[in-house]
Amino acid sequence: MARVAGWRNPTACGPCRRSLWTGGSCWWGGQPHRTWNRSPASSRRSGRWARSIDRKKRGTWVSVGSSPSSGGDAPKREALSPLLVTGATGFLGRNLCPYLVRRGYRLRALVRSTSDHAFLRSLGVELAFGDVRDPPSVRRAVEGCWAVVHAAARFRFWGDPAEFHAVNVEGTRNVLDAALEAGAERFVHISTVVVVGRPPEGETITEETPCRPLDPYQKSKLEGEHLALAYHRDHGLPVVVLRPGAMYGPWGRYGFNRLFFEDPLVRGLAFRVHGGRHITFPVFVEDVARAIEAALHKGRPGEVYNLCGPCITHRQVGETIERVLGRPVRWIPAPAWAMVGLARAWTWLSRLTHREPHYPIGLYPYVFYDWRVSAEKARQELGFEPTPFEEGVRRTLVWYQEMGLLKVRTPEAQRTRRNL
């Protein structure tokens, strides 16, 4: 039988939590730190999870302690030990990292050398250069981290299925392997609601809704999610899966942001299909960041949580944007057959140009169906409370103004900026 024994070696370094297999001092951040002996009893009292030592299987975990702080600043251990974030320079990461730093967490980010990571340096985030597709660099990044937030993914409405698989499946496998080897105490995997494929007509999507993915992105994200849950089931890695809806907010330049903010306000070209009657499933990106922190401490390993705000029609999205701006926005009415034909033509042309079409045919499921999504489970277990949509729109528009992307400065928008 397995016995709970805290860390495999009772001698451990406090700041970096790295076991000292041969004793002595541990150098962390360029400074030596003292070590102390931790008995199994003290290990059980001080942590949520302890390593279970089994002669046949390495890497299983058992719950042994009370829940940590569910609010306020990061607990002392989490403030001293690094938390790894993948996808830190992406849309979600741009919002997640500043939030966690403000909360007192010490972060390490796995970033590619070619990515724009200056903002991470300004936040004091430790950088680990590599790629989720490169196992050695992933192992180096995860080493010494108490938890992993895996947000790196390839998200496009168009592309080579092999590229989606390489990042969203094999990249996820590499991060899971490294986390298991390093003894990570929590692994938060960022999936997506759209793994369900075509939303069931007239029904609300819950975590139990059957998944029938349609496109390479959906298929690869579902496979990555199943892989993460398998590491919990088969190896005991404490994995929590979050499925955000259509994220919008500052730093977003694709998906929901592009369709409802950039196309009508920046490019001046936005289509409205079926009079805007279809239902969409927005979630403010900062709400997802807060849910990630909650999942680190309160999420149940092996569980999946939908994250979504109120589901509203495309017309209601446009009306809210117009109300915040204080002026009408031009939406071009388009019949479904015309949009499908245009998308097919653009997609065919992209094979010649090797550039993503503005409206690829892969966008079809997201705008032609009704997405009713329930986040009740996240509300009950993670304390998830979505930002009112109008407030999220205000904050998104202010970001567009600050970035110089939205030139129109209305009195309402100016008041919005002063109120933030």
Residues designated catalytic: 217
Token couple for 258: 């592009």
Size of the chain in residues? 420
Helix (H) or strand (E) holding 162: helix 161-165
CB 33 within 8 A of CB 13: yes
Please tell me whether residue 417 adopts helix, strand or coil conformation: helix
CB 21 within 8 A of CB 9: yes
* Cα 176 from chain centre: 15
CB 390 within 8 A of CB 298: no
| 261-276 per-residue burial string, b: 16 or more CB within 10 A, e: under 16 | bbbbbeeeebbbbbeb
Closest CA to 247 of 192, 205, 200, 204: 192
* Cα 153 from chain centre: 9
